[in-house]
Every structure is written in structure tokens, then in C-alpha cells.
């Protein structure tokens, strides 16, 4: 018996990183999964791999910032499987980075559209279908950046703080419907959004992150997938409105100062500009 037997889950940002890990884990635990991403080839490949668990998993190309795409995504879950039990609003980007004075308004708006509006739309369109089946679980990916400030990540910090508080207000509204709303706050997780699939950068980030928090290793997508599984399963039926921190202890004490040169490895992340989907390089 799997923890998600009989459940239907939608996972956004499922072509790589945390969404990919969650899709594979959910399928192994008995869920049918609708995988969503802008990366068509990557999403199709993960859906095929997840289906090898014996559960039917399908891919739907989705721009989470576009309401028609989210409506179509939920409709796909219903047409394929007849219900919706779990919505994991996971899709993300780096977004606008740099000083506040240097951020272009259009880059700020694009960041908020994906990171915050996408979560709002996922909640909005999942709730009616979950209500029909007597409840469900909505999970969103926030960040420790939504709980504290990080220099140069103003748009990201603002959006993720919005996800945390939207989680709380939505949990209040939908508790009566037995719909639980929670979010996960990852710390340093070594995913393509950081290393951009550039040669050697993943290993550099792995070594640097191992020094960044009390638990001496980098965070991995499977760490977040495990928390998502708990929140999706009936084991967490008395948990709602919570920001679940999964960060190796980063928020209780960083191992070095942000001004320490060791805290600034040479990576594929530029010091300013806009960081879009990881598969675009």
C-alpha cells in the first residue's frame, strides 16, 4: 500500500528539480500524476519515467502565470482521472535579481506573475474540484527567502513571502471544506535553477552548500519531495496553514557570513538581470 493510493495529483514545474522528484515519488506511492511545465520534452520524459511505476502519469504544457493554462491543467486531471486530490504549486524561476534601483519593472512583474500569481491561480482552480470530492491538499513551494531577507533577491523574497501568507489566508478560508493548504520553504537545494545545467557548476554548488548550514551537505530535490509527500498524504490531515522549513538548519544559523568570500562561488547565476526557467540555460 502506497501513501497516495487512489489519489490524483497535479504538480507544476515537474520537468526537473523538486517537481521531478515529487512526481516520481508520488507515482511510486500510488498517485496518478499530471505533470505541468513549460519544458515540453523534459516534462514528457519525466511523465514516461513516472508511468513506469505502474501509475498513469501524463504531461500538460503549462504557463502557470496564465489563468487559461491553469484551467486547462485542472481540466486535464479531470478528463484523465475524474478527480483532483492534490495540487502542488511548485513551478518557479529565479526572477529579477540585483539592486532595487536596477530592477526593471517588467522583470519585477514577470517574477511576481510566475512565483506568486501562479500559486494563487493553482489554489483558485483546485479548490472547486477538491470540494466536490470532500477535501484535498494544496501545497506550494515558498522558500526560506520568504521568511528572511537575501541581498539582491528582492523580487524573489517578496514573492515567496506572499506565498507564505497566501497559504495562511487560504488555509483559513478552506478548512471548512477539508482542504488543507500548506507550503514548503526550501533552503539551499541543488537544482537546475541554480546550476543552469552548466558543466561543473552542479558540483561547485554541492560543495559550497555543504558548508552553508549546520547539516553538512547540500539539499537535494528528494528532500523537498519527502515533505511534499507528507503534506499530500493523510498523515498530515491535521496540518494546515503551515510553512514547513526544509533547509538543513540554515534558518537557525548560517555557517558563514553573507559577506564571506566563501559565500560567493563562481556559478552560472549572474549578479544582476533576470533568471527565467532553468531549461532555457
Confidence at 195, pLDDT banded by 50, 70, 90: low
Chain centroid offset of residue 246 CA: 12
Q: What is the pLDDT of residues 26-51, one digit of tens each?
A: 999 999 999 999 999 999 999 999 99
Domain that holds residue 120: 8-194+218-253
Q: Judge whether residue 206 has pLDDT over 70.
A: yes
Check residues 266 and 133 and name the one with the higher pLDDT.
133
Mean pLDDT within 89-101: 96
Q: What is the pLDDT of residues 160-172, one digit of tens each?
A: 999 999 999 999 9
HEC secondary structure over 38-89: CCHHHHHHHHHHHHCCCCCEEEEECCCCCHHHHHHHHHHHHHHHCCCCEEEE
For the chain, the domain total comes to 1
CB atoms within 10 A of CB 176: 8
User: Which residues are within 8 A (CB) of 223 and not within 5 positions of it... i.e. 6 or more apart?
Assistant: 186, 189, 246
Q: Judge whether residue 241 has pLDDT over 60.
A: yes
Query: Is residue 25 in a domain?
Result: yes
Integer-rounded Cα radius of gyration of the chain:
18
Query: Is residue 156 in a domain?
Result: yes
List, in sequence order, every residue forming a beta bridge with 153; answer none if it has no partner.
98
* 84 φ, ψ (degrees, to nearest 5): -140, 125
Q: Judge whether residue 66 has pLDDT over 70.
A: yes
Query: Is residue 90 in a domain?
Result: yes
Mean pLDDT within 140-145: 97
Query: Is residue 135 in a domain?
Result: yes
Q: Judge whether residue 53 has pLDDT over 70.
A: yes
Query: Is residue 209 in a domain?
Result: no
CA atoms within 13 A on the CB side of 201: 17
* CATH number of the domain within which 46 lies: 3.40.50.720
Query: Is residue 97 in a domain?
Result: yes
Q: Judge whether residue 261 has pLDDT over 60.
A: no
Check residues 256 and 50 and name the one with the higher pLDDT.
50
- Written as nine digits, the cell of 165 is 501568507
pLDDT the model gives residue 205: 87
Cα 97–Cα 100–Cα 102 angle in degrees, nearest 5: 75
The pTM (predicted TM-score) of the whole model is 0.90
Helix axes 105-112, 154-174, angle to 10 degrees: 30
Q: Judge whether residue 202 has pLDDT over 50.
A: yes
CB atoms within 10 A of CB 186: 26
From CA 17, how far away is CA 25, in angstroms rounded? 12
Which residues are part of the catalytic machinery? 156
Q: Judge whether residue 268 has pLDDT over 60.
A: no
From CA 192, how far away is CA 25, in angstroms rounded? 19
Average per-residue pLDDT in the chain? 92
Query: Is residue 264 in a domain?
Result: no
- Written as nine digits, the cell of 260 is 564571506
Query: Is residue 199 in a domain?
Result: no
- The fraction of the chain above a pLDDT of 90, given in percent, is 81
Distances from the Cα of 69 to the Cα of 36, 126, 248, 273, angstroms: 10, 13, 35, 27
Amino acid at each position: 500500500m502506497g501513501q497516495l493510493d487512489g489519489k490524483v495529483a497535479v504538480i507544476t514545474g515537474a520537468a526537473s528539480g523538486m517537481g521531478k522528484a515529487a512526481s516520481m515519488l508520488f507515482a511510486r506511492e500510488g498517485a496518478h500524476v499530471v505533470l505541468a511545465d513549460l519544458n515540453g520534452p523534459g516534462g514528457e520524459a519525466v511523465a514516461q519515467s513516472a508511468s513506469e511505476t505502474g501509475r498513469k502519469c501524463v504531461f500538460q504544457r503549462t504557463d502557470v502565470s496564465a489563468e487559461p493554462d491553469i484551467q486547462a491543467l485542472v481540466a486535464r486531471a479531470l478528463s484523465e482521472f475524474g478527480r483532483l486530490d492534490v495540487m502542488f504549486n511548485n513551478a518557479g524561476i529565479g526572477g529579477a535579481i540585483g539592486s532595487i534601483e536596477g530592477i526593471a519593472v517588467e522583470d519585477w512583474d514577470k517574477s511576481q506573475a510566475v512565483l506568486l500569481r501562479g500559486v494563487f491561480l493553482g489554489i483558485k482552480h483546485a479548490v472547486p474540484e477538491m470540494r466536490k470530492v470532500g477535501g484535498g491538499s494544496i501545497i506550494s513551494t515558498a522558500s526560506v527567502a520568504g521568511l528572511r531577507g537575501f541581498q539582491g533577491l528582492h523580487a524573489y523574497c517578496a514573492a515567496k513571502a506572499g506565498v507564505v501568507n497566501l497559504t495562511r489566508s487560504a488555509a483559513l478560508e478552506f478548512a471548512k471544506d477539508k482542504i488543507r493548504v500548506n507550503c514548503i520553504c526550501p533552503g539551499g537545494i541543488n537544482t537546475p535553477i541554480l546550476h543552469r545545467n552548466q558543466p561543473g557548476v552542479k558540483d561547485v554548488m554541492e560543495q559550497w552548500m555543504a558548508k552553508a548550514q549546520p547539516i553538512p551537505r547540500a539539499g537535494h530535490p528528494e528532500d523537498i519531495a519527502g515533505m511534499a509527500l507528507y503534506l499530500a498524504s493523510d498523515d498530515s490531515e491535521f496540518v494546515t496553514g503551515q510553512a514547513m522549513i526544509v533547509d538543513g538548519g540554515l534558518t537557525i544559523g548560517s555557517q558563514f557570513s553573507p559577506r564571506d568570500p566563501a559565500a560567493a562561488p563562481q556559478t552560472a547565476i549572474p549578479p544582476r538581470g533576470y533568471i527565467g526557467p532553468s531549461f532555457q540555460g
